[in-house]
Amino acid sequence: MKIIDFTEEYGKEYFCCLEDWSEEMKEAGDHKENWYNKMKDKGLGVKLAVDDNGKIGGMIQYLPVEQSFIEGKNLYFIHCIWVHGYKKGRGNFQKRGMGKALLKAAEDDVKSKGVKGIAAWGISLPFWMKASWFKKHGYKKVDKDRGTVLLWKPFTENAVPPKWIKQKKKPELVPGKVTVTSFINGWCPAQNIVYERAKRAASEFGDKVVFQEINTMDRDVFLEWGMVDGLFIDNKSVRTGPPPSYDKIKKKIKKRVKKL
Ligand SMILES: CC(C)(COP(=O)(O)OP(=O)(O)OC[C@H]1O[C@@H](n2cnc3c(N)ncnc32)[C@H](O)[C@@H]1OP(=O)(O)O)[C@@H](O)C(=O)NCCC(=O)NCCS
């Protein structure tokens, strides 16, 4: 197994988070590629883990904290680490050391850029991106927002701990209509799927539903809202991880339309 730098020849795999085999992923559009194209000149690091047969099994992506969705100084932030764990498609690559090697490669890379530490997010419950996995690798919890934990590993004694940026406001509603508000950033195909589904579902109700897109790839927009991804139907937040199905989103909109 080896860790390599991402180059655009691997775009087919990377832009869909190694799920090029998945039908669902086809709904994610080209948002991650657009995000990559914007962030590659802003310090984005992407590394891939390749097995001895040349198959890509894992990826990590990290950005200077100033470009991320947390608050901090002179740090990097890991947006995502993913070692393909499904049997379907390319197969399960987990528990072979790819995760550990990717994390080390990212840490070595950012240390060489002279930053004072690296941060990551995780879930306190034992599913999806487990905070405990980072703890095992020397990361310490610094902040929490409901079940989502912010962790970090300082490299120097004078490093300043990062903080979550929390939601600052709720979408404005259009009187007499159902308002569907979708926040889109691009970094996560699962969230991009939610955006695409919500947009499509909203369009089925004609002028009864207003669809508002809030593009948080622009960091000032993100800072104004304190939300990077998310979906609201009127002022009710819809859970987006894992992505709700198209039918589920449509049903929720329909319920509100009936109340108009
Ligand atoms: C967390 C994650 C990155 C770890 O990747 P991984 O490649 O499985 O990690 P590693 O192989 O380095 O370590 C995992 C375990 O495998 C074990 N392991 C490593 N090499 C091994 C080997 N050759 N044989 C057996 N076990 C091995 C490690 O000891 C470790 O065990 P532990 O968990 O009991 O400590 C991966 O599980 C993952 O992608 N999870 C989902 C994350 C996610 O949701 N990402 C999206 C966020 S946006």
DSSP 179-242: EEEEEE-SS-HHHHHHHHHHHHHHHTTGGGEEEEEEETTSHHHHHHHT-SSEEEETTEEE--SS
Centre of ligand 1 to C-alpha 14, Å, is 19
CA distance 213 to 174: 14
CA distances from 11 to 8, 36, 145 (A): 5, 10, 33
pLDDT of residue 241: 87
Centre of ligand 1 to C-alpha 87, Å, is 15
pLDDT of residue 81: 98
pLDDT of residue 202: 98
Its pTM stands at 0.95
pLDDT of residue 147: 83
Ligand 1 atom nearest the C-alpha of 84 is 39
Ligand 1 atom nearest the C-alpha of 101 is 12
Helix or strand or coil: residue 123?
Answer: strand
Is 100 close to ligand 1, i.e. is its CB under 6 Å away?
yes
What does CATH list as the number for 2-163?
3.40.630.30
Ligand 1 atom nearest the C-alpha of 81 is 45
Ligand 1 atom nearest the C-alpha of 94 is 8
Helical H segments across 5-136, by residue range = 11-14, 31-39, 98-112, 131-136
Q: Which residue lies with its CA nearest to atom 4 of ligand 1?
A: 99
Q: Which residue lies with its CA nearest to atom 15 of ligand 1?
A: 95
Is 94 close to ligand 1, i.e. is its CB under 6 Å away?
yes
Is 92 close to ligand 1, i.e. is its CB under 6 Å away?
no
Give the start-to-end residue ranges of the domains of the chain: 2-163, 178-258
Using alpha carbons only, what angle is made at residue 162 by residues 131 and 166, rounded to the nearest 5 degrees?
80
Centre of ligand 1 to C-alpha 51, Å, is 14
Is 190 close to ligand 1, i.e. is its CB under 6 Å away?
no
Ligand 1 atom nearest the C-alpha of 93 is 7
Is 259 close to ligand 1, i.e. is its CB under 6 Å away?
no
What does CATH list as the number for 178-258?
3.40.30.10
Is 99 close to ligand 1, i.e. is its CB under 6 Å away?
yes
CB atoms under 10 Å from CB of 212, counted, come to 15
Is 137 close to ligand 1, i.e. is its CB under 6 Å away?
no
Write out the chain's pLDDT in tens, 260 residues: 999 999 999 999 999 999 999 999 999 999 999 999 999 999 999 999 999 999 999 999 999 999 999 999 999 999 999 999 999 999 999 999 999 999 999 999 999 999 999 999 999 888 788 999 999 999 999 999 888 999 999 999 999 999 999 999 999 999 999 999 999 999 999 999 999 999 999 999 999 999 999 999 999 999 999 999 999 999 999 999 899 999 999 999 999 999 99
CA distance 228 to 106: 23
Q: Which of 251, 201, 199 lies closest to 31, judged by CA?
A: 199
Q: Which residue lies with its CA nearest to atom 10 of ligand 1?
A: 97
- Which of 96, 151, 240 maximizes ligand 1 atoms within 8 Å of its Cβ, making it the mutation to test the pocket? 96
The encoded tokens of residue 30 equal 């080209």
